[in-house]
Amino acid sequence: MATFGKGPILVTGASGGIGAATVRQLVAAGATVIANGRNAEALDALAAETGCATLPFDLTSEDSIREALDGRDLWGVVNCGGFGGEIATPMETDIDVFDKVISVNARGALLVTKYASKSMIRLGQGGAIVNVSSQASLVALKGHISYGSSKAALDNITRVSALELGPHNIRVNSVNPTVVMTEMSAFYWGRPEIGEPFLAQMPLGRWASEDEIAAPIVFLLSDGASMITGVSLPIDGGFTAC
């Protein structure tokens, strides 16, 4: 069974599939979890199911994040909150959409790291942060100029944060999943002309499940990963290895 440091683990994006699966697995492993997300009804249902606490704040607002996290004791963070944006080429992209994707996926995660790490340093017990990135940061995917750029920025936030927080025994890693075939993903990846060629290039040849992404997140938070930091871990069925 996984073991964790003392103190709560904050999971943003917990009203979504990967975030909710991560909360469930962390609670099942004995962690104390605080869930954040945009969908209040889904968060309430998750809290009723798992016993996790909930904490509302806006990932696009530094004031909101500061007010929520300032002085709050935390041991771990999963930055899972994200925004998919649009499918567009660099020539067609709506720069306002690009700005929003960056604001949520990169800037929001950095702000959570900024205030959560202050708590971890203050407590002096170390900690762990896992950023949910994407395979789109590791390889070029058509139509993913905004999303891929935001996740590439997140991977660099991971590496620099690992460097800066390591002396405080705070580990920072990313996971880089392939497509989880949610309702949101299906509008694009569910098209045969898009999904079938993609899966044909993947050694495992199938979409990931939420639980298959959550399990490595839980591992990276656990004491079993105590010597792992600064890593971007593909969870992609081998797609980026080919």
Active site members: 147, 151
At residue 79, the 3 state secondary structure works out as: strand
Please, are residues 201 and 242 in contact by the beta-carbon 8 Å criterion? Answer: yes
What's 235's DSSP letter?
A: E
Rg of the chain, C-alpha, whole Å: 17
SS3 content of the chain, % helix, strand, coil (to 5): 50, 15, 35
Q: What are phi and psi of 219, to 5 degrees?
A: -60, -45
Place of tokens 């798992």: 50
CA-CA distances (angstroms) from residue 115 to 7, 14, 38, 71?
15, 19, 19, 9
Cα separation, 218 vs 213, whole angstroms: 9
Cα separation, 231 vs 175, whole angstroms: 8
Cα separation, 21 vs 215, whole angstroms: 9
